[in-house]
Structure 1
Amino acid sequence: MHNGTDDQDRKTDWAENRTDWAEDRTVLANERTFAGWMRTGMAAIAIAVGLRAVFGAAEPTWVPKTVASVFILAALIIFFAAWRNSGKAQRRLDTHDANEQSTATFGLLAAIFSLGALVTGAILWTL
């Protein structure tokens, strides 16, 4: 036989679990969003390399290099925004059952991708 208090406690537990799971899903969605931003930044670098390859023989040579550099700059901005926004979201959330990435991991990945973008941009200017 169940009394009203037991039913209410069970319902409260279920509601708290649903809330915890929702927060875990949000943490994981934040990580997927970060990965999406990083892919978008990499696509900007790929566009820069592609533009430089297609228009490499154009005169004056600084024109295709400058256009490619715009996409390198866009990639850097994207990587910075991904790091900043994902870190802010991660700090606001608590995980319950999910294993979250640390904000330091976000920063390290954004820094590595940014370094790659800068090196790619420098190489494009030497070609």
Structure 2
Amino acid sequence: MDERTAEQLAVLVGGEAWQSGGGIYLVTVNRDDGSLVVFSADAICEYQNDEAFDAGRASKTIFLTIPETEDLYVIVDLKGNVFYQDNAMERGWRYEEDALHEARALESRGEGKFSVVRQSELPA
């Protein structure tokens, strides 16, 4: 996951975001019993302890599909304002069709003209 997502997730779960290398961020939660829960873009894993984590021996794993923001779609109005599916996390829609549906709904209410673009195409 990206740094921003990791930082926000860390706040939500009471953990710590850290870069594991290569621009990949993880969120870790140290539990009272000494176990470690690690959130990545692909999975949530529980490890008995830090040594088990270092060895890659997860005791439990839940696989996820959290798309990177580059793979999401957002709505943009003529003034350049961006509309996200989740404004707090600044994450768009997974499917272009869903974003288009929302854009058409905004237009049908007379709220202006809108286009849908990949979130990765937004200016930095």
Q: Same fold (TM over 0.5)?
A: no
Q: Which has the higher helix share?
A: 1
Greater relative CO (CA pairs within 8 A, separation 6+): 1
Larger radius of gyration: 1
Q: Which has the higher strand share?
A: 2
Which category describes the TM-score, using the shorter chain as reference length?
Answer: under 0.3
Q: Please, what TM-score do these two structures have when normalized by structure 2? A: 0.28
Q: Please, what TM-score do these two structures have when normalized by structure 1? A: 0.28
